[in-house]
Structure formats: structure tokens, C-alpha cells
Structure 1
Amino acid sequence: MRLYVDGWDPGYGTSFDNSGDGPASASSAQVAPDVELPAPDWRPIGPRGDVPMPPTVLLVDGVRRIDAGMWVADDDGVPHRGLAASYAAGVVRCDLERGVAGVAGAQVRRGLFTSSPTATDVRVGTVTYTAHQMGRDDQATLTGGVQAQLAALEAAVSGESRSDDDLLVVDGPLRGRQHLPRAVGYIKTHRVEYLPAELAGVVTRLEAGERTPVFRLGTTWDRYAWYLRLPTASRAPWAGVVRVECSAELAGDEAVALAYRSAATLPRFASSAYKDPRAPQNLVPIAGLERRLRSMLGDARLLYRTLILAARTVIG
């Protein structure tokens, strides 16, 4: 028997998530493995010396916070559950030629998510929670509404500070941003097993900086994808492994070129375990951006008191 310790802080779950559909369960996704290599020839692919890092890398991420659970009463007295949430998205611009990085753009939004058909924006002083009507008031629907608005905000900031030869790295799936040039989605956790067993074995054999061949993945939307292992001291089978994806609208050779470029670039940004409990997958610029965005959300206790005041005015 062999034991492995996952490098992630247990407070964040694990890098290989077994909630819901566990990692051992087969995905219903359609997988076409022959984009770069025929399935029988699959093997770990190392970086190519003739593929340089881009001069500029842009990394996009977002954060959200539930400020308060709410009840919204209509004129007929029927109460509807709701959530008041703050969320923010931003982009870090890394100039690799100059060795400098900074936040190139960030936006903050606040929303009231409820099934009430008569809900209106909540304004107290300079704070505004924009009303978003949801079809139901269960927790999953309400939090899904928050996530959808955050994804839209991330898409809005993704186009900022672009240059002609950059690489755009979106923290999370690329869905909704497939149209952006030179963009890849960066997925840190693995909830289901997309590859059949004979190909998944290639993932666990990856060394730091190596990737799998590119494959085409189809669920509710299509994209190209590949797995990449970042530098890590752990020898656990999936330690340091991320999934990277790009638009299915690209030609196969264009997707392969992006895969090589991602393998040349992303390991540079891998975090260290003594600095980040989600190392190495939580990239250093992303971690810094998350801290900046959370500070921009404002003081949670002050906003909670603000919402109590608003409830007395609007509902009470």
C-alpha cells in the first residue's frame, strides 16, 4: 500500500474533487483523442525549445462573497428568499520582457438575487445592490445567479490591455470567452474523469512541465483540452495537474500551438506550498489578484449593517 498527501489545505477541499460525480466516475462527455496523436500513440509531451513564452501574459479571475441572506416581500405579502452578494473581476498584466506585473483593470458589482417579481435595486448611500430576478429561490439557483453575473463580469474585463502577441489565461472554464484570441481556460480541480483509463494513465505519468496530447472535449459545449503538470514536490498521481482548454473554433494545429505555448508559460507562475495552500495550481499572479479583489469588495460587517438599514427602509 502507498499513501500520498495532497498538497492543498483541506479547507479548500482537494485538487482532485470527489464531490458529486467522483473522479472515478465516467463522464458523459464526448472525447476525441486523435487531435494531436492517435490514441495508441499517446505519451507525455515535453516542452519544445523553439516555442518561447509570450512577451505578455494576461490572467483573469474573479471573487464573490455573500453579504447576507435576504427575504423580499411583495406587495401581496408573499416572501421570497434572496441573496445579497458582492463580486469583482480583474486582470493581471505580466510583462515578461520587463519582469513586471500589475493589475490592468478591475471592476466591482453588487447584486440582490431573488425570485421576487417586484424586487428593485437596493440603494443606501453610495452602495447599490442591483436586482436580478431568478426563476426560483432555492440556494442553488440563487448562488448560480451570482456565479453567472461574475462570469459575465470576468468576460467584460478579459478584453482589457490586450496586445498582438499575448496569452490570455482565464482562471476556470473558457465558456463564454471562446471568441477571445489567444485565450485558454485554466482549471485547477478535477471533478470527473474525462479520459478513458488507457489514456488517463498518461496523465499520472506526466513529469513537471509535461502535458498530454491535445484532445477534443464535448459536453454542453465543445473545446480542445490537455492536461499539464506544474512543478511540485508531491508524487501523488494528480499532484500539480491542471486542465487547460481552448476554443473548438480553432484548427487542430492552432490548438496544439497553444498547448505548447501554455506548457512553456504556465509553470513559470506556479505557486509554492509554503506561500499558498493551493500550490502549485493557484498561480502566483492569480493569488495576488484574488487578494486585491477581495479587498475591493469592502468591509463585510459594514455592508451587513447597510443591508439591515436598507431592509428597514425598503421592506420593514
Structure 2
Amino acid sequence: MRFHVDGWDPTYGSSVENAENGIGRSEAEVTLDVELAPADWKPISPSQVSDPGAVLFVDGVRRVEARIWIDQPPAAEPATSAVSTARDAVMALCASYAAGTVCCCPSRGAHLLTIDYRRGLFTTATNAVDVPTTAGTYKANITSDDQEENLAVLLSTALQRQLADLEVLVATNARTALAGHGVSEGSDLLVVDGPLRGRTQLPRALGFIKSHRTSYLPPDLHAMIATLAPSERSPVFSMGTSWDRHAWYLRLPCPPGAPWAGVVRVECAADIPPAKAIELANLSQAVLPRYASIEYKDTRAPQNLVPVAGLERELRRHLGNPALLSRAMRVAAAA
């Protein structure tokens, strides 16, 4: 019996999500002939490209510190009522989140370039205000209630939007900071860990998706992805769901194993010319495999790129000690 072990730590799920049931079929509108006609699709080998002046890796982390309940004011009572109206309460999330960039450039190697962190209170309660604690202030973020959406999902989405906005801010600041690194303006490459959604306005940016839950390609082309050799990629295609982008699949260097071992999906903005998207795809082949992680060092190898793994550790350190934050929240609630 031949079998392969998924190199990912099981606590992170699988690099191919829903692997036991197969990858789900996407409803996205896909255009396959951006680079090659579907009949001509084949693995594309790396080509000679010029290195970027610097590679900036952007990532963010989030952590829910507490779920709290915010009392709602009672409804107005009739003047003749002798019974007090029961008070209601709305669930909210208190969370910490952080984003930063690691710069890899010839003059200074890999180093932390920008970092920022925030604490937020996420709720639909219109009477919510900032919550000051001894460990920092949780800034109120009030989102519109949606009776058709699960409240926990609604609040988690609001938190994710704030994190995405913070990632855009640190990426913009990072490019400003590059002026002192001897990097020519417009020569850097930005790699966002995760989909590029909400960040497509960033120039020369790639979204880097480590795991797969959906199949975007027809069955025969989807099967071709499993034949990619290390550093080979698929042709560029475009797809549209709630947002549009160019995309391609790339296999990172890794030991032989499962059909999709080491395969990532890379994205770029849809509003750039196809020729420019192909240039970025070629550049990703030359750049991203250099930063692939190794199994004995990282339980999500090779997809969890080395600079991103180091950045994640630093960002989580900036979130603070969860036990101290929880205690500070309980003290603030009692006060």
C-alpha cells in the first residue's frame, strides 16, 4: 500500500480543505484564455526575470480576547405600566489584531520593517462605547445588524475588515520606509499572505493562498495542477466572484507526496493588463520558491513562507499576554 502523509500540522486542518469530500466546485466566472487557450494549457517552467529591488511580505493576526454582553436600554414603558421592562443584552467581541511587513532586500537581508497593533470592540449594539482597560483601550466598532446573518459570523467579518485595513496601512508605510534602503521606487514586490481581496489597490501586489477549498478549473485542467513540478506554474486565468482577480497555481519545492503537496494559488489585481499579470506570474516563480519553508522547521511547510512564519511570531508577541488581557477586561467590567 502506498500512501502520503500531509505535512501540515493537523491543528491547521489540511492544505486541501474538505479533503475527505474532495474540493468543492466554485460558482466563480472563470476566463481560461488569459495566457493560453484551454486546449494548450500545460505546466509553465520558470523563465529568466530580473529580481525585484525588495520583497515585502505582509501578514496580519487576530485573537478574540473575550466575548461580552452589552446591556441594551429598556424599551419605553407605557405610563400606566407597573411592571419594569426586562433589559436585553447583545453579544460582542473584544479582540486584538496586528499587522506588519518583513522586508527582504540586498542591503539588509530579512528584517521587520513596519508593525502596528490595535484592540477593538466589535458589536451591533448602537450604545457601545470604547472600553478602557489597564492593558489598553478596546475601540468600539459598531456594525449594522443583519437578521439573516449569524451574529458571530457578522462580528468576525467586521474584525477581518479592520485587520485588512490595517494590513493596507502597514504595507503603504513599508513602501515609504523603503526610501532609506537604497531600493528604487517601483521596483519592490509586495506579497500579501492570504487573498488579495480588499487590497487590490496596492500596486505590484500578490495574494498568496496556502490552502484550497474550492476548484475553479474544469476537471481536466484541475487535474493538470497535480502534474506541476517544483517551481512550475499553471497558465494565468481570471475569475470573478464577489470580486475579480487574475490567478495561477504554483508548486513550491517540497518532497514528492500527495498530488497537491506544495501547491499554492497566487493572485493579482484584475484591472492590470494581462501581459502585466503574466509578468507577475513569472516573477512569482523566481521569487516565492526561495522562501518556501522546510518540514522539520515548520508544520505548514512548504506553503508557510519563512518570512511570514517569523512575522506571525512577532505579531502574536505584540498582541500581549492573553491571561493578563482577560484579567484586565474582567476588572474593567467590574468597575
8 A contact 2:99–2:170 mirrored in 1: yes
1:262 is paired with a residue of what secondary structure?
Answer: helix
Question: Are positions 1:152 and 2:165 aligned together?
Answer: yes
Which AA in structure 2 matches 1:47? P
Deviation of residue 151 (structure 1)? 1.1
**Cα contact 1:87–1:108 (8 A) shared by 2:** yes
Greater gyration radius: 2
Who is 1:105 aligned against? Answer: 114
Matching residue of 2:155: 142
Deviation at 1:234, TM superposition (A): 3.5
Deviations 1:94-138 (A, max 9, x none): 10x236111111110111112211010001246100111232572
Q: Distance in 1 between matches of 2:225 and 2:122?
A: 40
Offset of residue 198 of structure 1 = 1.1
Runs of 4+ in 1 over 6 A off after TM superposition: none
Q: Is 2:97 aligned against 1:87?
A: yes
> What is residue 221 of structure 1 aligned with on the other side?
243
Task: Give the secondary structure class of the aligned counterpart of 1:249.
Answer: coil
Residue 115 of structure 1 is aligned with which of 124, 143, 157?
Answer: 124
Task: Note the C-alpha offset of 1:161.
Answer: 2.8
DSSP 3-state at the match of 1:306: helix
Alignment-mate amino acid for residue 5 of structure 1: V
Question: Is 137-146 or 261-270 further displaced after alignment?
Answer: 137-146
Unmatched tracts of structure 2, length 5 or more: 75-86, 176-184
Greater alpha carbon shift after TM alignment, 205-214 vs 175-184: 175-184
TM-score, structure 2 normalization: 0.89
CA distance in 1, matches of 2:237, 2:210: 18
Instruction: Name the TM-score, length of structure 1 as normaliser.
Output: 0.94
Residue 33 of structure 2 corresponds to: 34
User: Compared with structure 1, are the counterparts of its residues 292 and 56 closer, same or farther at alpha carbon in structure 2 (3 Å cutoff)?
Assistant: same
Counterpart mapping for 1:243-262 below 5 A: 243-262=265-284
1:24 lines up with 2:33 in the alignment? no
Match of 2:60 in 1: 62
For the Cα contact (< 8 Å) 2:58–2:308, is it kept in 1?
yes
Q: CA deviation at 1:219?
A: 0.7
Match of residue 302 from structure 1: 324
Count of aligned pairs: 310
The offset of 1:180, in angstroms, is 1.4
Residue 310 of structure 2 corresponds to residue 288 of structure 1: yes
- In structure 1, what is the Cα distance between the partners aligned to 2:225 and 2:322? 41
State how far apart, in whole Å, the 2-side matches of 1:294 and 1:114 are.
Answer: 23
- Structure 1: state its 5+ residue gaps: none
Closer, same or farther: CA 19–112 of 1 in aligned 2, 3 Å: farther
Aligned counterpart, 1:11: 11
Deviation at 1:19, TM superposition (A): 7.8
Q: Which residue of 1 aligns with 2:291?
A: 269
More divergent stretch after superposition (133-142 vs 179-188): 133-142
- Give the Cα separation in 2 of the matches to 1:198 and 1:206: 14
**Aligned-partner Cα distance in 1 for 2:27–2:302:** 29
